[in-house]
């Protein structure tokens, strides 16, 4: 399967320097874990699982994504799509992040039709992570 240079570049960068590519995790017990939302999408039997975490902070009354991390099991384009999503997320408000559409990833990475599901997975991951964050956030407020 021939990949676009964009996918190959993103994939190889991620492998070579995972930390710089925002590969990683926040786990319970970590400082600020209460500011993290997690979205896991896909299934091992289907050949891709994407785990996205976003860290959000209140800035001037709006929730903003200040950092994000991911881990992905899947083909080269799934890994590249996750990395691309991360690049698009950082600094966005939650409302802005909700508007992210898989089509943007397809265009940037020049994904062929057979790989479009990788970008769909990325869109689902951010949507799920936001829902998770908002759920946690409302619980937190409720408990205060």
Partner 1 sequence: MEPIYLDYASTTPVDSRVIDKMKDCLSFDGNFGNAGSRSHSFGWKAEELIEESRLNVADLVNCDPREIIFTSGATESDNLALKGAAYFYQDKGKHIVTCKIEHKAVLDTCRQLEKEGFEVTYLETDEFGAVTPKQVKEAIREDTAIVSLMHLNNEIGVITDIAKIGEITREKGVLFHVDAAQSAGKIPIDLNELKVDLMSFSAHKIYGPKGIGALYIQRKPRVRLQALFHGGGQERGIRAGTLPTHQIVGMGECFKVAKQDMVSDYKKINSLKNRLYDGLKDMEEIYVNGDLEEGYPGIFNLSFNYVEGESLIMALKHIAVSSGSACTSASLEPSYVLRALGRPDELAHSSIRFSFGRFTTEKDIDFTIDLVKTSVHQLREISPLWEMYQDGVDISKIEWA
33: exposed, middle or buried (C-beta count within 10 Å: 0-12, 13-18, 19+)?
middle
In the set 54, 68, 78, 106, which binds partner 1 (CB under 8 A)? 78
d(CA 62, CA 113): 37
Question: Would you say 26 and 36 are in contact if contact means Cβ atoms under 8 Å apart?
Answer: yes
Question: Would you call 101 a catalytic residue per the annotation?
Answer: no
Q: Is 92 a residue that touches partner 1 (CB under 8 A)?
A: no
41 binds partner 1 (CB under 8 A): yes
Q: Indicate if 75 belongs to the active site.
A: no
Q: Per rule CB under 8 A, is residue 48 in the interface with partner 1?
A: yes
Strands (E), 4-127: 36-43, 48-59, 62-73
Nearest to 51 by CA among 33, 25, 66, 71: 71
User: From the list 10, 74, 85, 108, which residue makes contact with partner 1 (rule: CB under 8 A)?
Assistant: 74
**51 part of the interface to partner 1, by CB under 8 A:** yes
112 belongs to the binding site for partner 1 (CB under 8 A): no
Question: Of the candidates 55, 63, 64, 76, which one interacts with partner 1 according to CB under 8 A?
Answer: 76
126 binds partner 1 (CB under 8 A): no
List the catalytic residues.
46, 118
């Amino acid at each position: 399967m021939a990949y676009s240079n964009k996918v190959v570049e993103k994939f190889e960068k991620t492998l070579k320097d995972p930390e710089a590519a925002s590969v990683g995790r926040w786990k319970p017990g970590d400082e600020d874990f209460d500011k993290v939302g997690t979205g896991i999408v896909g299934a091992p039997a289907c050949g891709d699982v994407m785990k996205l975490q976003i860290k959000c902070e209140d800035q001037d009354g709006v929730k903003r994504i200040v950092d994000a991390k991911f881990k992905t099991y899947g083909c080269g384009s799934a890994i590249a799509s996750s990395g691309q999503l991360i690049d698009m997320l950082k600094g966005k408000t939650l409302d802005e992040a909700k508007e992210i559409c898989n089509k943007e990833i397809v265009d940037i990475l020049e994904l062929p039709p057979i790989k479009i599901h990788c970008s769909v997975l990325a869109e689902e991951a951010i949507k799920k992570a936001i829902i998770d964050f908002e759920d946690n956030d409302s619980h937190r407020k409720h408990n205060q």
